[in-house]
Amino acid sequence: MYKTLSPHEITGNPIPAIKRLSDNAFIQFDSANTDYANFKEQILAGEAELQDADGNVMTADAAQEFVRGLP
């Protein structure tokens, strides 16, 4: 399972990373990052869940839409 991050407290800008809940790793949105590629693949295949920043589980469609909008 993964979790989106809240915008930066000071700037209000989105944080270009996702949190993997199994080990609390922060995965940057970088196409060269294999963890990032795996995250996108798992969400698009419906093999993993994604929580919003408040901890609510997104529907598969909402999670896939979120991932499709990423770099």
Residue 9's pLDDT band (cuts 50, 70, 90): confident
Residue 53's pLDDT band (cuts 50, 70, 90): very high
Q: Which amino acid is at 5?
A: L
pLDDT > 90? residue 10: no
Chain-centroid distance, C-alpha 39: 7
Q: Picking from 3-12, 18-27, 37-46, which range would have the lowest pLDDT averaged per residue? A: 3-12
Determine the average pLDDT of the residues in 39-65. Answer: 97
pTM, two decimals, is: 0.91
Number of residues that make up the chain: 71
**Dihedral angle computed from the Cα positions of residues 4, 58, 70 and 12, in that order, rounded to the nearest 10 degrees:** -40
